[in-house]
Amino acid sequence: MRTAMTEIESSCGGVRCIPSLLIAGTHSGVGKTTVTMGLMAALRARGLKVQPFKVGPDFIDPSHHSAICGRTSRNLDPFMMGEEGVRRSFSSALEGADVAIVEGAMGIFDGMDGTEIGSSAQVAKILGLPVLLVINVHGMSRSAAALEKGFAEYDQDVRLAGTILNQVGSERHLAMLKSCLHKPIYAALPREREMEMKSRHLGLVMGFEKEHDVTALAAWLEKHAAIDEILSLSAPACSAGTEKPLGQRSVRIGIAKDEAFCFYYYDNLRELERQGAELIYFSPLDDDLPDVDGLYIGGGYPELHADRLESSPARRQIKRASEDGMPIYGECGGLMYLGRAIEMETGSFQMVGALPGYTIMTKRLAALGYAQAEVVGENPIAGMGKILRGHEFHYSRFSCDRDAHFAFRLGRGKGIQEGWDGLMEHNTVGGYLHAHFFSFSVERFIGSCRNYRKK
């Protein structure tokens, strides 16, 4: 295996290249995540350094990837990042890795509004990755061949290298499948061993809360998958090396990071650093507000920790910082925390109170999908006319005061109210949009923090 990798590296003209592939599915629920996690775990058990990726805006699956691989999983999303952003994120992440594994999203051809935009197929084509298609073959034999043929021929620019068969019932079942499928079969996973992961209202539990047995999962894939063949078929992907910062560290930005606030695109944090920010991580659940020039409060599950957030000293400290004019940016869970309260069936819990409104938890999904916003009001995050692209996913609504001011007008998505997002007060802005920082420059946010420090 090491010899094969050395041959791949030497074929790239001195630039280090590694095997890379994308695991896709015929549709959601076929076992992509289980297969991906198992393959990553099996490769790690072999002593390889695995760089994980996830197609789309999801925060949950990457947390599992990161926990298994010991390397931060990165999102690859052409709608939010642009094609060049996908290439940039992918290549810059490969430094020091032995193999790259990309987990797809939904069905391989499923993209935004029935197009290929944001689909696994689009990402595979942008990066030139070979694809292994996961097929749930429960209750099928020859019909699986029809599925395989249709997916292989639908878009021949997608390099469908072979299949991974999930829910195989028996050796006889597998023999029937082998007799009719045309593409190579790289794994045949038995029905009884697929792992079930506990659900939560926003998806699966986070990687740091995992209750599944990664060692058993790795052994399962090692036993039932042709891992050496998977590595040998992978096309080489070349690393562009680590991105260099544009300048020296000039500001300190606090990043809320704990069980309540855990939804961040890795590239967002790296982009802040690249633009000159020193990132100071802290927990609003337990810590005092650190000595910083600005705050970035991402999404997560503040409602699950509302009592602790209410009693934490950071709550009042952030309120005072907001009133003092500190640039503060909150996304979804951050918006909820920056409001006055979170109201649930179990009661009402006081939050920061930096923004004029409060959150009401809902039993039904309030918003799900891509969002795009135009900046129409002065704010510390992005300049007038800039376009922010991202994603919404929440089970809550935010009730604003009548005289509330908004900085973002949505061309796509729901936002806080009637197509408006980016609620503003002082130098604090919060919205339901999880924006990707490749869609606009964070230079203004860095500058706002620098100006605050000079006060």
Q: Which residue has the tokens 């990664």?
A: 214
DSSP readout, 356-381?
SEEEEE-SS--EEEEEEEEE-S--SS
DSSP readout, 140-182?
-SHHHHHHHHHHHHH-TTSEEEEEEEEEE--HHHHHHHHHH--
CA neighbours closer than 13 Å in the CB half-sphere of residue 88? 17
User: For residues 55 and 28, is the Cβ–Cβ distance under 8 A?
Assistant: no
Let me know if 180 is a catalytic residue. Answer: no
DSSP readout, 245-299?
PSS---EEEEEE-SSSEEE--HHHHHHHHHTTEEEEEE-TTTPPPPS-SEEEE-E
| Residues sharing a CB contact under 8 Å with residue 445, sequence separation 6 or more, in sequence order | 272, 294, 327, 329, 380, 381, 382
Tokens standing for residue 62: 């990457």
Q: Which residue has the tokens 């690393």?
A: 239
Which H/E stretch holds residue 431?
Answer: strand 428-431
d(CA 389, CA 79): 8
Name the active-site residue from 17, 262, 332, 449: 332
d(CA 223, CA 315): 51
User: For residues 73 and 93, is the Cβ–Cβ distance under 8 A?
Assistant: no
* Catalytic residue numbers, as ranges: 332
